[in-house]
Amino acid sequence: MLMAPKCDTYCEMLRAIRRKRIGTHLRHPLRPILKLMGWNMPYPYYRRFVEYSRWPGPVAKKLLDMPSNFITNWSLSPETAFWLFQMVRDTKPKCIVEFGCGASTVVIAAAMEMENMSGSFISLEGETQWLNCTKKVLEKLNLQDRVRLSHAPVQPFGYGQQTFHAHDVSVLSGVRADLLFVDAPPSAIGRVGVLPCVYKHLAPGATIILDDAERDQEHEAISVWEDLGLATVTGFEPVGAGVAILVAND
């Protein structure tokens, strides 16, 4: 993990890391064009994901059983997925909460299986169709018992004097997660509301992983979270679209 250099803001930290970042991951060369044209070509992304050389043998074999259209240009990059997989294996959290299901759900569940972890894992998803798709994949991979999938529509809620939007967290009653992985809501809504919404369900000092941390919306989310005193940035991983690591403030 790259620890945060001494910078006044997260954006300055990110720029400092970008200057050192060369070739840490490869994107499909046509990805920007395909996005502009509205195309979604699953196979190249699926192939890169399942053929990534660092997956342990049993996991690589399991991933090959995923349907090819499950991994798309919107999925985690294989580098990000592997980093998350290893992070779960190394830290062995007792309770994991995830915003946004998909490839991340599979690799977290696979890490829990490989380490024979007995902790709980709850994944919140706002789109019913994608939730059901992920459920079928987990069942095909025999990982369904490792995770509790919950349909959680995005809704407005008040925090202090502000109104935010995030997934319904009523299913988290009584939960105190020590790992939070944030990969939703989508950019049309933004993720700034996630931490104010879920903060009371985090254990003191919980680790927060924010995907797509290079995007401007995620910069804004981090700034708001720090201004509200909810979390502090502790590091950044230059994988995929960037992963920010934060710690929940007590």
C-alpha gyration radius of the chain: 17
CB-count burial class (<10 Å; 0-12, 13-18, 19+) for 229: exposed
In a domain, 41, yes or no: no
- In this predicted model, what pLDDT tens digit does every residue of 72-86 receive, in sequence order? 889 999 999 999 999
Q: What is the pTM of this model?
A: 0.85
- Spatial strand order of the sheet with 243-248 comes to 2-3, 231-237, 243-248, 202-211, 177-182, 95-99, 120-125, 148-151
- How large a percentage of the chain has pLDDT more than 70? 83
Q: Is residue 130 situated within a structural domain?
A: yes
Tokens describing residue 31: 């990805």
Any domain includes 60: no
Considering the domain boundaries, does residue 68 fall inside one? no
Using the predicted structure, report yes or no on whether residue 6 has a pLDDT greater than 80: no
Give mean pLDDT, residues 58-85.
95
Tell whether the torsion through CA atoms of 18, 233, 207 and 122 is positive or negative.
negative
Residue 243: predicted pLDDT: 98
pLDDT of residue 32 exceeding 60, the answer is: no
The total of structural domains in the chain comes to 1
CATH code where residue 152 lies: 3.40.50.150
Q: Is residue 160 a contact partner of residue 193, using CB atoms and an 8 Å limit?
A: no
Residue 120 belongs to a domain: yes
Greatest distance between any 2 Cα atoms in the chain: 51
- The DSSP call for residue 192 is T
Whether the pLDDT of residue 34 is over 90: the answer is no
pLDDT of residue 44: 84
- Return the H-helix or E-strand segment holding 79: helix 78-91
Residue range of the domain that includes 170: 2-21+76-248
Distance CA 93, CA 108 (A): 11
* For range 62-67, the mean pLDDT: 95
Please answer whether residues 197 and 164 qualify as being in contact, where contact means their C-beta atoms are separated by less than 8 angstroms: yes
Question: Which run of H or E residues covers position 107?
Answer: helix 103-114
Q: At what angle do helices 42-50 and 78-91 cross, to 10 degrees?
A: 40
Residue 67 domain-assigned? no
Q: Please check whether residue 125 lies inside any domain of the structure.
A: yes
What lies within 8 Å, CB to CB, of 75 at 6+ separation is 45, 49, 81, 102, 103
Per-residue pLDDT tens digits for 87-105: 999 999 999 999 999 999 9
Helices 78-91, 103-114: crossing angle, 10 deg rounding: 40
Specify the pLDDT at position 10.
54
In a domain, 28, yes or no: no
Q: What is the rounded distance in angstroms from the CA atom of residue 184 to the CA atom of residue 191? A: 6
